[in-house]
Amino acid sequence: MPEVDLPLNLAGSAQPPAGGTTTSSILVIDDEVGIRESLEVLLSLEGYTVRTAADGDQGLRILELENFDLVLLDLALPGQSGLELLPQIKDRQPELPVIMITAYGTVDNVVEAIRSGAENFVQKPWDNEKLMADIRSAVARHRAEEENLQLKRTLKQRYNFSNIVGKSEIMLRVFDLVAQVAPSRSTVLIQGESGTGKELIAKAIHANSPRRDKPFVPINTGAMPSELLESTLFGHVKGAFTSAVASKKGLFEVANGGTLFMDEIATMGLDTQSKILRVLQDKRFMHLGGIQEIQVDVRIIAATNTDLRQAVRDGRFREDLYYRLNVITVDLPPLRARREDIPLLAQHFLDFYASENDLSPRKLSADALRALVDYDWPGNVRELENCIERGVVLSSGPIIGSDLLPGHITGRSFQDALLEHNPNASLFDILEDIERRIIIEKLERCNWNQTDAAEQFRIPLSTLNQKIKRLNIEIKKKGKE
């Protein structure tokens, strides 16, 4: 009897929200009839559904009745101005992108609108091509966010994959496979570059298996010398070796009834490999130095970021163990092979880190998102996650621009990023921004341990703390699990 619902049409469920159409809708709020008409023509030609409103009240009424992907909002409206209207729109629909249009774009207006969550600012008379490019990327991002929400809901309902994001064909196939193999006790081998989500997938297999209420025990087999690894896996009796002053259970017993996740198995010693093969075959083993056989029921999930078959050819990995482990293989593609997942993952991490740091929701500007989608991500999802976390911590408003992304991703120098982030700031403000970024970077590298950071900066802890306070740096709570 299957213990979880088998996948029926996960691929189908990743489509836009039910009732959603493939054409996107835009609401234009502008008091000048000429502007409304020309935008209507321009946007309709691009395939958008367009609705127009001549003032704020009418705009809000239409927004209550229909769903939109974007609002084009004039700054100078009769009655309520665009700037007054913007927070009301954002209150009702925080996710809806709003692009401001104005002929009177003073710097103050730009700053205030962006602070209130406007996506972007367009000056009349606008350049059609640039306007369309801005609209296209804002709409695409909005769609991706909506889809992300929908997808999370579906995955959570169906598979309990609540924290895994992906909509690419290739990842949907991985999800299907995971859901299919989860209920069985088959050994699974997960292969993928570093940071592709191997441990996350292993946890999902466990969480969707009948073993879900028993332990999931991860062990990094590559990081330990053989003797320590064996005593950790199999346990030992008192006196088995010099430092064995008391007997100790091994992880095979700790994981009994559950799942043992053996990470980085390619580097495990050959002796240990043969012992593990025996447990896989006989489901029994002995404590180091012991004489009694212990029976266990443990499911093994193994992971590797190197080519295990090559390790077999090189004589570094036992062929029989390879075939034992490789009953089912889950191949996790690198992130650069599924770029369509990048906007979803980015938003997923923005939500996570904004809420972890008690910040209001964060979004990426259109050019920041473009830079992320274009980058090659050698460190895969983990690198993307770190990059977003940093952006969230550095951000001081709802929109994270490309100036808050690392220079190697945007191709911009640190100086360019600073000057772009502070176009009209005084030298002193820019220097403060530098100080803030450097301190955050150091704290990140020290795992947010202030004492270590102060020591490395060679300043007293009290000085660092004063700076943290003055520069309004949020001390991040540690760890994501």
Please check whether residue 253 is in contact with residue 290, taking contact to mean a CB–CB distance below 8 angstroms: no
Any contact of residue 176 with ligand ATP (CB under 6 A)? no
The minimum distance between CB 445 and ligand ATP, in angstroms, equals 18
Span from 151-159, 161-169, 179-187, 355-363 in contact with ligand ATP (CB under 6 A):
161-169
Beta strands in 75-166 (DSSP E): 98-102, 120-123
The minimum distance between CB 381 and ligand ATP, in angstroms, equals 4
* 3-state DSSP assignment of residue 72: strand
Please check whether residue 205 is in contact with residue 336, taking contact to mean a CB–CB distance below 8 angstroms: no
Q: For residue 49, how many C-alpha atoms fall within 13 Å in the half-sphere facing its CB? A: 10
Bond before 125 cis per omega within 30 degrees: yes
Q: For residue 175, how many C-alpha atoms fall within 13 Å in the half-sphere facing its CB? A: 29
Please check whether residue 262 is in contact with residue 219, taking contact to mean a CB–CB distance below 8 angstroms: yes
Interface pick for ligand ATP out of 36, 211, 299, 348 (rule CB under 6 A): 348
* 3-state DSSP assignment of residue 93: coil
Span from 77-85, 188-196, 232-240, 314-322 in contact with ligand ATP (CB under 6 A):
188-196
Any contact of residue 390 with ligand ATP (CB under 6 A)? no
Using alpha carbons, list the distances in angstroms from residue 80 to 74, 96, 188, 256, 314. 11, 20, 61, 66, 74
Residues 6+ apart with CB under 8 A from 276: 233, 262, 268, 321
> How far is C-alpha 90 from the geometric centre of its chain's CA atoms?
24
Span from 78-86, 125-133, 157-165, 180-188 in contact with ligand ATP (CB under 6 A):
157-165
Look at residue 217 and give the partner it binds from Mg ion, ligand ATP, none, a contact being a CB closer than 5 to 8 Å depending on partner kind.
none
Span from 1-9, 82-90, 190-198, 228-236 in contact with ligand ATP (CB under 6 A):
190-198
Site string for ligand ATP, 263-302 (x = CB under 6 A): ----------------------------------------
Span from 1-9, 14-22, 133-141, 196-204 in contact with Mg ion (CB under 5 A):
196-204
The minimum distance between CB 163 and ligand ATP, in angstroms, equals 6
Look at residue 305 and give the partner it binds from ligand ATP, Mg ion, none, a contact being a CB closer than 5 to 8 Å depending on partner kind.
ligand ATP
Residue numbers at the binding site for ligand ATP (CB under 6 A): 163-166, 192, 194-200, 305, 345, 348, 381-382, 385, 480
Residue numbers at the binding site for Mg ion (CB under 5 A): 198-199
